[in-house]
Structure 1
Amino acid sequence: MKKLLFALLLYSPLLAGAQAATWKVDRDHSSVAFSVTHLVISEVEGNFKNFEGELKAAKPDFSDATITFSVDVFSISTGNDPRDNHLKSNDFLNAEKYPKMTFKSTSFTRITEGKYLLEGDLTIRDVTKSVKFNVTYGGTAKDPANKLRAGFKANTYINRFDYNLKWDKMTEAGGMVVDKMVNIELKLELIKQ
């Protein structure tokens, strides 16, 4: 009897984990975008074309979710080739040396109906910092192929200087050409596997 009890205690976390469903990001119906203030007076927007992500959760409200995400730095696009090349250079992301940005969740907390706080570790270049995303859950629906999909929006602000993206020039009036604060917004559609 003691051996049976010991075996149940030993394997129960594995059995519980086995019930978790896996959801993968559908890149064709998702986006990873950013914006930053330019010359103090306007904003420049951009996005990353190549990325992948996965969510695992056993609970139907996703409150026990674990999330991993990666972005291909070379896929950055702001609609301007010289600017994109500058962003890929060592002044900013140094894509040659650090071709991926990654995120790994540490918690996904339900705040109210459809609202969550996602916390985790974001790595850009060789720097990893804890960040918080405000997340809105849009619900689930079946697509024409009878696959279950879930929709989420997530946003946060990061200080690019924290990640050694320290290129800077000042305007004549003393403001920054490129602000240090960057808004990140993800619109994600995930498919249950």
Structure 2
Amino acid sequence: MIKLLYAVLLCSPVWAFAQTVTWKADRERSVVRFSVNHLVISKVDGVFKNFEGDMTSKGPDFSDATVSFTVDVFSINTGDAPRDNHLKSNDFFNAEKHPAMTFKSSSLTKVTNGKYLLTGDLTIRDVTKQVKFNVAYGGTTKDATGKQRATFKVNTYLNRFDYHLKWDKLTEAGGMVVDKMVNIELKLEFVQQ
């Protein structure tokens, strides 16, 4: 019986016995950023200062990872307080009623070495839609305390109208004051727990 058990263990794939590892986003070393065309000829950049990100994975290449993310809408910062207040209003995020944006992954597909496609449900305001993010894995290393750290760059474009962020004015020339397409870029550093 012992020989049979030993043979099964030898023939079983290593990943079958791998432990699930939990990672948390380090807010001090991560950035959740967006940019949008403004008045046709310029861009407005902004960040969300408060967010929480969790990831679990068994494999060292993160191909089986699941990701969840929550962003505090009230923490939006474009460097202009009146504009930030407008973005928190019902014209855009309606932060009083919908104070958080959430993301829950459904798959992480390896495209090439170090490149992934992250798919999942993104909820903004009262709308949940499936979105795809391009992910570039930067690598994993140990920090001074011996904890593992992994870095990722994540980006996509979203149509803000899809999420009821529908404030819309035109310039004198007929262009949109705020474009409907928004570039989302995250630079994330996760710490193994």
5+ long unaligned stretches in structure 2: 1-15
CA distance in 2, matches of 1:32, 1:123: 16
SS of match in other structure, 2:23: strand
Query: 1:109 matched to which residue of 2?
Result: 109
Q: Deviations over 1:101-143 (max 9, x none)?
A: 0000010001111100000000000100011000000000111
Aligned to 2:30: 30
Counterparts in 2 of 1:43-192, with a 5 A limit?
A: 43-192=43-192
Q: Distance in 1 between matches of 2:74 and 2:182?
A: 18
Matches within 5 A, 1:11-26: 19-26=19-26
Q: What letter is aligned with 2:49?
A: K
Which stretches in structure 1 are left out of the alignment for 5+ residues? 1-15
Mapped partners of 2:158, 2:171: distance in 1: 22
Aligned-partner Cα distance in 2 for 1:36–1:87: 13
> Per the alignment, in what secondary structure is the counterpart of residue 86 of structure 2?
helix
RMSD, aligned α-carbons? 1.1
**How much does 1:19 deviate?**
1.9
Displacement of 1:17 in angstroms is 9.5
* Over 3 Å off, 4+ runs: none
The share of aligned pairs that are identical, in percent, is 73
* Equivalent position SS for 1:161: helix
User: How far, CA to CA, are the matches of 2:62 and 2:142 in structure 1?
Assistant: 17
- Paired residue for 2:13? none
TM-score of the two chains, using structure 2 as the length reference: 0.91
CA distance in 2, matches of 1:78, 1:183: 14
CA distance in 2, matches of 1:59, 1:88: 39
Please report how far the alpha carbon of residue 72 of structure 1 lies from its aligned counterpart in structure 2 after TM superposition.
Answer: 0.3
Relative to structure 1, the CA distance from residue 185 to residue 27 in structure 2 (aligned partners, 3 Å threshold; closer, same or farther) is: same
- Alignment: residue pair count: 178
Q: Tell whether the 8 Å contact from 2:119 to 2:130 is kept in structure 1 after alignment.
A: yes
Whole-angstrom distance in 2 between the partners of 1:71 and 1:17: 34
Amino acid at match of 1:100: A
> CA separation in 1, counterparts of 2:18 and 2:47?
35
